[in-house]
Amino acid sequence: MRPIVVTLLVALGTQAMYGQEWAKSRLEKSPRRHERVLVHNAGRDISTFIVYPETTDKRPAVLLIHDRAGLTDWFQSFADQVAAMGYVALVPDLMSGTALPAENQVTGLLNAVADYGLKLPAYSGTLFVAGIGWGGTQSFRFAANRADVVAALVICGASPDKDSIARIKGTVFGFYAANDGVVNATVPAAQAAAKAANVVFEAVTYDGVGPGFMEAGDAPDAKPADKLARGYALERMKSVLDMVSLRGY
């Protein structure tokens, strides 16, 4: 039986490797400038992907946090789409090719990348954070742990505890999938905690989709529901980023 299991694992690995060729191809054709740097933090090098918008003006930065799949071709393509909205996309690879960091290490790693972004000539001084899945959870937490985050865009990420929410200085915008019961169960308590702490937390739930709709809806063979929800979510992302950048919230 063992050779059969190995064969199946190899086959699954091959699918994962080549399943995002469409995303890789699109990224390679992008007109925006891409950069890969190493950010140093406490003896660790954080490989970071940066995408610059097509402008000579200084622009806000969005610290983008990947999900448990890591810095895939699709997530890099997603970062390119965020840059196309007019924002500098800072995308750390928190897996470093192996595993996700422990929870008590995440904030330090994200702070290091954010601090690196502060020094970029293209950076205007306004910092957002956004993430998907595990990254969405971390984006919510990071907003509580860093006071200069003006807004967190939480995509299908679980909410932190009420004490963390009370520390948030910026605004939180949630993007949720109707078929994501575990994460969605954390939202009502977070909304109550935010209201008690005078923190603005606006949540939108997209019907008929699961937590992977942002990626699934971007694929060439996307289901209509995923594609539609993703389109609405992208429109809201740009609206939120532009609104907060221009006049605060």
The CATH number given to whatever domain includes residue 148 is 3.40.50.1820
Tell whether 234 is covered by a domain. yes
Task: Look at residue 249 in the predicted model and tell me its pLDDT.
Answer: 60
Tell whether 16 is covered by a domain. no
Within 112-236, strands assigned E span: 123-132, 149-155, 171-177, 201-206
The identity of residue 24, as a single letter, is K
Number of domains in the chain: 1
Task: Look at residue 97 in the predicted model and tell me its pLDDT.
Answer: 57
Tell whether 75 is covered by a domain. yes
CA distances from 102 to 106, 109, 157 (A): 7, 11, 17
Tell whether 9 is covered by a domain. no
Task: Look at residue 8 in the predicted model and tell me its pLDDT.
Answer: 32
Q: In terms of residue numbers, what domain contains 229?
A: 23-173+183-247
Task: Look at residue 172 in the predicted model and tell me its pLDDT.
Answer: 98
User: What pTM, to 2 d.p., does this model score?
Assistant: 0.90
Task: Provide block-wise average pLDDT over 10 residues at a time, the chain (249 residues).
Answer: 34 44 93 96 90 95 96 96 98 82 89 96 96 98 97 98 97 98 98 98 98 97 98 98 86
Assign 3-state DSSP to the chain and report helix, strand, coil percentages, each to 5: 45, 25, 30
Tell whether 163 is covered by a domain. yes
